[in-house]
């Protein structure tokens, strides 16, 4: 992307250089001296860059069109006498010299043409740049969306759960049915329900099912606690902001491997927002210990998409002596 | 001697499933199951084991690492491995480590049975045969030849003849191909006991003359 932008800049620069060289040769082509041609060129350049670099970017926009017109008139009023002075003193135009008003017409016409060219050139460049920017924004948006979809549930978790339920079916039909219901509920939530605002109860169900399904892997009870203090479980929240944090905590805590490992989750209302507090023990296994992770970054991005700069205040990660703490606040209505 | 097996998997349900499957084969003896690969490694260094069911993704040591760490030691031969994993993309590496088989979870019993077939062909040195209520263990080296008799087979050894309910075709699949060969619709012979042969007949060490079927002739001659 950067490279293409640079290329575009070079193209604009080359176009200008070529334009001026051609114009200068053209001016020289008329029977006149080099100093006179340089003076003319100077005139044209003042005209061009006044419109190209200053006037169009600043004044060609809704509400300021009249100022744009005024500035053009002012430009012509300033340049024309100077041009006329050059034309009459340095340049001999045999065909037009007989009639003075033809000279004014020629000067005005050339000045207006040049202004117009500068204007068009600026518009074309701006248009190109804004299209490019829109493309980039769209691409960024799609990428975030894609990552969001991917982060919803790791396929590893899904397969692992299915394998465990398969083994469970051999000996424990009741627990098998219960687990299948939980898995089906979780999948329904992830696939169909969480592409809009959801009641808090749904996200909570998903978290509880996830914990229960994860617990299937282990014979002994895992030290995972979930504590909620919420006045109404009907309030609407953005889905899939809490569940990835649970996944994250599981990933980085050695839970199930080390008996001392723990995860404590507290969800409560706090100043009109829904606050989540995730605490987990620190992993001692080198392979599992990757702080941050794509999950957290993704959540940060999503919070900022809700409201620019939102994550600054409302998502904090802290490393303590024996674990990690994540504080998150999300909007709820 | 039975087949000495251990199971290593960090998830107890996976262990339970494999234990249950193993219990359906009378010759498999699961010595111990491990949720943690570290004590399993110690166990393997101290005890003779024929076969290891090994999960790949485990904390601390992966199944791959464990398998590659076990070198043939003085005490006996290196055990063979059957990997059991939820991932399908480690198979190539697994077979590079000379895995006997690679089972992708969830493992169905049918697939497990196939793996055990391979075990019988590659590790076992005996056949288990039902004779009435009795199960008879017959070392491969005792078998001279096996004769097919409709639904029954008759296994000839130097001491005795054992009749059991089985199909010759199934036995052929279970026996190691480098030791036994089919020579006729109704006969499988042990190559170690073949004394002489002609274009149409094979003479065994105990003097039995068996017909050499036309279909099986080339394969038989190629092996000798």
User: Taking chain B, what is the end-to-end CA distance rounded to the nearest angstrom?
Assistant: 30
The CATH architecture of the domain made up of B3-122 is 3-Layer(aba) Sandwich (3.40)
pLDDT in tens, A45-65: 999 999 999 888 888 888 888
Let me know the angle formed at the C-alpha of A111 by A109 and A117, rounded to the nearest 5 degrees. 100
Interface of A with B (CB under 8 A): 156, 159-160, 162-164, 166-168, 170-171, 216-219, 254, 257, 285, 287-288
pLDDT in tens, B92-121: 999 998 899 999 999 999 999 999 988 988
Q: What is the assigned CATH class of domain B126-223? A: mainly beta
The predicted pLDDT at position A162 comes to: 94
Mark yes or no for CB contact A167/B13 under 8 Å.
Answer: yes
Return the C-alpha torsion angle A169, A172, A175, A176, nearest 10. Answer: 10
Closest CA in chain B for residue A214: B11
> What tokens does B33 get?
């199951």
> What tokens does A255 get?
């839970």
What integer is the mean pLDDT of A32-41? 81
Question: What values do phi and psi take at A58, rounded to 5?
Answer: -95, -35
Nearest CA to CA, how far is A280 from chain B (Å)? 18
ipTM at complex level: 0.71
Residues of B in contact with A171 (CB under 8 A): 16, 20
The predicted pLDDT at position A92 comes to: 65
Q: For residue B21, give every residue at least 6 positions away whose Cβ sits within 8 Å of its Cβ, in sequence order, or none.
A: B107, B109, B112
Cβ of B7 under 8 Å from any chain A Cβ?
no
Closest CA in chain B for residue A283: B59
Q: Which of B10, B60, B106 sits opposite A166 (nearest CB)?
A: B106
Nearest CA to CA, how far is A219 from chain B (Å)? 7
Domains of chain A, earliest start first? 2-147 (no CATH), 152-331 (3.30.565.10)
Residues of A in contact with B17 (CB under 8 A): 166-167, 170
The predicted pLDDT at position B201 comes to: 92
pLDDT in tens, A279-314: 999 888 765 444 445 678 888 888 888 888 888 889
Does pTM surpass 0.95?
Answer: no
Asked if pLDDT for residue B211 goes beyond 60, the answer is yes
**Helix extents (H) in chain B:** 12-23, 37-46, 63-69, 91-96, 109-122, 168-174, 214-223
Count CB pairs under 8 A between chains A and B. 44
Mark yes or no for CB contact B20/A159 under 8 Å.
Answer: no
pLDDT in tens, B70-80: 765 545 568 89
Q: Return the residue in A164, A172, A251, A285 with the most chain B beta carbons within 10 A, the one to mutate for interface testing.
A: A164
Mark yes or no for CB contact A166/B86 under 8 Å.
Answer: no
pLDDT in tens, A111-159: 899 999 999 999 998 998 899 999 888 888 877 766 665 556 678 888 9
Q: Which of A164, A171, A285 sits opposite B60 (nearest CB)?
A: A285
pLDDT in tens, B154-203: 999 998 899 998 889 888 888 888 889 999 999 999 999 999 999 899 99
Mark yes or no for CB contact B13/A217 under 8 Å.
Answer: yes
Element (H, E) at A44: helix A34-49
Q: Which residue has the tokens 């808090």?
A: A200
Let me know the angle formed at the C-alpha of A117 by A88 and A16, rounded to the nearest 5 degrees. 95
Nearest CA to CA, how far is A215 from chain B (Å)? 11
Task: Describe the crossing of helices B109-122 and B12-23 by its angle, rounded to 10 degrees.
Answer: 60
For residue B129, give the DSSP letter: E
Greatest C-alpha distance within chain B: 61
The predicted pLDDT at position B196 comes to: 92
Mark yes or no for CB contact B106/A170 under 8 Å.
Answer: no
> What tokens does B58 get?
């485990």
Cβ of B59 under 8 Å from any chain A Cβ?
yes
Q: Which of B12, B20, B59 sits opposite A218 (nearest CB)?
A: B12
The residue ranges of every structural domain in chain B are 3-122, 126-223
Nearest CA to CA, how far is B138 from chain A (Å)? 33
């Amino acid at each position: 992307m950067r490279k293409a932008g640079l290329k575009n800049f070079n193209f604009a620069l080359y176009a200008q250089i070529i334009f001026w060289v051609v114009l200068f040769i053209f001016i020289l082509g008329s029977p006149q001296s080099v100093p006179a041609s340089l003076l003319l060129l100077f005139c044209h350049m003042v005209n061009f860059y006044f419109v190209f670099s200053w006037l169009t970017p600043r004044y060609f926009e809704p509400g300021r069109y009249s100022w744009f017109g005024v500035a053009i008139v002012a430009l012509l009023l300033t340049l024309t006498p100077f041009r006329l002075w050059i034309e009459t003193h340095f340049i001999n135009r045999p065909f037009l010299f007989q009639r003075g008003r033809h000279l004014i017409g020629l000067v005005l016409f050339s000045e207006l043409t040049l202004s117009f060219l500068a204007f068009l050139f600026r518009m074309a460049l701006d248009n190109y740049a804004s299209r490019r920017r829109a493309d980039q924004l769209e691409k960024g948006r799609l990428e975030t969306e894609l990552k969001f979809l991917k982060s919803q549930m790791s396929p590893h978790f899904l397969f692992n759960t299915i394998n465990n339920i398969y083994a469970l079916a051999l000996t424990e039909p009741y627990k098998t049915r219960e687990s299948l219901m939980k898995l089906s509920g979780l999948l329904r939530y992830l696939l169909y329900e969480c592409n809009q605002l959801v009641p808090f109860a749904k996200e909570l169900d998903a978290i509880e099912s996830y914990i229960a399904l994860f617990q299937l892997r282990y014979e002994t009870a895992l030290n995972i606690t979930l504590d909620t203090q919420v006045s109404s479980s009907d309030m609407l929240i953005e889905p899939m902001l809490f569940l990835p944090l649970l996944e994250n905590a599981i990933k980085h805590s050695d839970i199930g491997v080390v008996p001392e490992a723990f995860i404590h989750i507290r969800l409560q209302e706090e100043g009109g927002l829904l606050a989540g507090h995730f605490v987990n023990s620190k992993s001692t296994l080198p392979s599992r210990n990757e702080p941050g992770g794509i999950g957290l970054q993704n959540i940060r991005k999503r919070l900022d998409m809700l409201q620019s700069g939102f994550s600054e205040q409302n998502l904090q990660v802290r490393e303590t002596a024996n674990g990690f703490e994540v504080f998150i606040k999300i909007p709820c209505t | 001697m039975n087949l000495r097996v251990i199971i290593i998997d960090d998830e107890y349900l996976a262990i339970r499933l494999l234990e249950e499957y193993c219990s359906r084969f009378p010759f498999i003896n699961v010595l111990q199951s491990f949720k943690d690969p570290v004590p399993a490694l110690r166990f393997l260094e101290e005890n003779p084991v024929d076969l290891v069911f090994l999960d790949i993704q485990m904390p601390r040591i992966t199944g791959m690492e464990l398998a590659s760490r076990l070198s043939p030691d003085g005490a006996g031969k290196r055990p063979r491995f059957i990997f059991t994993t939820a991932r399908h993309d480690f198979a190539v590496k697994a077979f590079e480590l000379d895995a006997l088989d690679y089972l992708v979870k969830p493992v169905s019993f049918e697939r497990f049975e196939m793996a055990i077939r391979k075990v019988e062909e590659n590790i076992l040195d005996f056949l288990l045969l039902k004779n009435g209520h009795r199960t008879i263990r017959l070392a491969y080296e005792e078998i001279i030849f096996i004769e097919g008799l409709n639904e029954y087979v008759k296994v000839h050894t130097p001491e005795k003849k054992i009749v059991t309910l089985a199909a010759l075709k199934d036995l052929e699949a279970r026996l190691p191909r480098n030791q036994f060969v089919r020579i006729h619709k109704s006969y499988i012979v042990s190559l170690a006991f073949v004394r002489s042969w002609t274009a149409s007949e094979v003479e065994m060490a105990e003097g039995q003359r068996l017909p050499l079927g036309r279909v099986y002739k080339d394969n038989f001659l190629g092996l000798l």
